Amino acid sequence: MKSITCIFFLLFLYTSASLAQTNTIVYGSNPQAGHYASINGIKLYYETYGSGEPLIMLHGNGGSIEAFNMQIPFFEKYYQVIVIDSRLQGKSGGSPDRISYDLMASDFCALLDYLQIKSANVLGWSDGGIDGIIMAMNCPEKVKRLAISGANIVPDSTAMSYADILGMKDFVENNKTASKKEIALTQMMIDQPNIPFTSLIQIHCPVLVMAGDHDMIKPEHTIKIFQSIHGASLCIFPDSNHGVCQQHPKLFNETVLTFLTK
C-alpha cells in the first residue's frame, strides 16, 4: 500500500451551483455537451468532454456536474470525461420516495452499458465516492480505477461527528422550508450507506482514498477504508476540510492524474 500526502481544502455539503464559472462554458448546463439517457425509469443527465479512455465524475450530495468545473477542463485533455448529475440532483430525474446509494450506483453502471463502455475510471467526491465504492463492488468489471474523496461507508459516529449527525437530523425534522428532495437527500445520509468493512475485500481495482485531515469524515474512518482495500493508495490533505477540487485544483488534479496513469 502506498501513501500520498498533499494539501487540499473543501466545504461541507458544498453546493456547486453557487460557484462562479472561470470560463465561458457553463458546466452542468452546456447544450453542446449535454445528453439525457433513459436509465432505471428516470432521465439521467450527463455531459461529455474530450476523448480517449473514459473517466466518470460523480459529485456530492445536493450538487451537480458543476462541482467539477475545475476538473473537467484539466482532465478532458487526457480522457473522455463523462460528468453525471446523480439521480434527483442537477438536471436528472428521480423521486424523493426512491433514493439510495445502491440505486445511484446502479444508474451509473447502467449508463455505462447504455454508452457501450465496458469499463471506465471513476472519480467520486463525498456521495460520489460512496457510489464509486458500490460500483466497484456491484459491477466490478465497469470500474478500471477508482479515486474517492471524503467518502464514508457507515452513517454513524464512527465516521462522522455527533454534531454533523445531529445537524442533519435537525434539518430533516425542523426545516419547514426545505423541499422534499432536500429532505430525502439528507435522510439518505442519515440512514446510509451501511457497507461492512469486510465487504471492501471484494474491490480488486486500483483505488485512491482521499480526505482532508479535518474532513467531516473522521480520519480513522478514511484510513480504515484504505486499509480494507487491498493495494489501495492513501492521500490525506493537511489543513483541509471535507470536499473536493476547488481550493487547490491544480494539486488535486495532478494527484488524481498521477494515480490514474501510474
pLDDT digits (tens, 9 = 90+) for 29-86: 999 999 999 999 999 999 999 999 999 999 999 999 999 999 999 999 999 999 999 9
Predicted confidence at residue 244, as pLDDT, reads 60
Residue 94, in any domain of the structure: yes
Predicted confidence at residue 52, as pLDDT, reads 97
Query: Which three cell numbers, joined as nine digits, stand for 158?
Result: 464512527
What are the b/e assignments for 74-110, b being 16+ CB within 10 Å? bbbebbbbbbbbbbbbbbbbbeeeebebebbbbbbbb
Longest dimension (CA), the chain: 49
Residue 133, in any domain of the structure: yes
Predicted confidence at residue 22, as pLDDT, reads 45
Helix (H, G, I), strand (E, B) or coil at 138: helix
Section 107-126 average pLDDT: 98
> Band of the pLDDT at 10, cuts 50, 70, 90?
very low
Section 152-175 average pLDDT: 96
Residue 161 to residues 64, 134, 158, Cα–Cα distance (Å): 25, 23, 8
Residue type, 234: L
Residue 204, φ and ψ in degrees, nearest 5: -115, -10
Angle between helices 180-191 and 162-174 (to 10 degrees): 150
Residue 15, in any domain of the structure: yes
Residue 58 to residues 46, 198, 244, 254, Cα–Cα distance (Å): 10, 24, 11, 18
Domain harbouring 83, CATH code: 3.40.50.1820
Predicted confidence at residue 213, as pLDDT, reads 87
Residue 64, in any domain of the structure: yes
Predicted confidence at residue 11, as pLDDT, reads 31
Q: How far apart are CA 160 and CA 211, in angstroms?
A: 13
Q: How far apart are CA 108 and CA 142, in angstroms?
A: 10
> Band of the pLDDT at 1, cuts 50, 70, 90?
very low
On average, the pLDDT of the chain sits at 91
Angle (CA) 249 252 255, round 5°: 145
Predicted confidence at residue 8, as pLDDT, reads 31
Among the residue ranges 70-74, 117-121, 195-199, 235-239, the one predicted with the least confidence is: 235-239
Predicted confidence at residue 19, as pLDDT, reads 40
Closest CA to 89 of 73, 121, 111, 67: 67
| This prediction's pTM | 0.90
Neighbours of 262 (CB within 10 A): 10
Section 192-208 average pLDDT: 98
H-type alpha helices, the chain? 72-75, 101-114, 127-138, 162-174, 180-191, 219-228, 249-261
Residue 157, in any domain of the structure: no
Helix (H, G, I), strand (E, B) or coil at 90: coil
> Band of the pLDDT at 232, cuts 50, 70, 90?
very high
Residue 186, in any domain of the structure: no
CA dihedral angle for residue 51, residue 137, residue 227, residue 129, rounded to 10 degrees: 50
Section 158-172 average pLDDT: 96
Residue 167, in any domain of the structure: no
> Band of the pLDDT at 23, cuts 50, 70, 90?
low
Q: Please give the share of the chain, as a percent, with pLDDT higher than 90.
A: 83
Residue 113 to residues 110, 118, 120, 139, Cα–Cα distance (Å): 5, 7, 11, 11
Q: Please give the share of the chain, as a percent, with pLDDT higher than 70.
A: 91
pLDDT for residue 24 is more than 50: yes
> Band of the pLDDT at 18, cuts 50, 70, 90?
very low
> Band of the pLDDT at 7, cuts 50, 70, 90?
very low
Residue 194, in any domain of the structure: no
Question: Between residues 38 and 240, which one has the greater pLDDT?
Answer: 38
Q: 220 lies in which domain range? A: 2-152+200-261
pLDDT for residue 3 is more than 80: no
Phi-psi region of 190 (alpha: psi -120 to 50; beta: other; left: phi over 0): alpha
| Overall domain count for the chain | 1
> Band of the pLDDT at 247, cuts 50, 70, 90?
confident
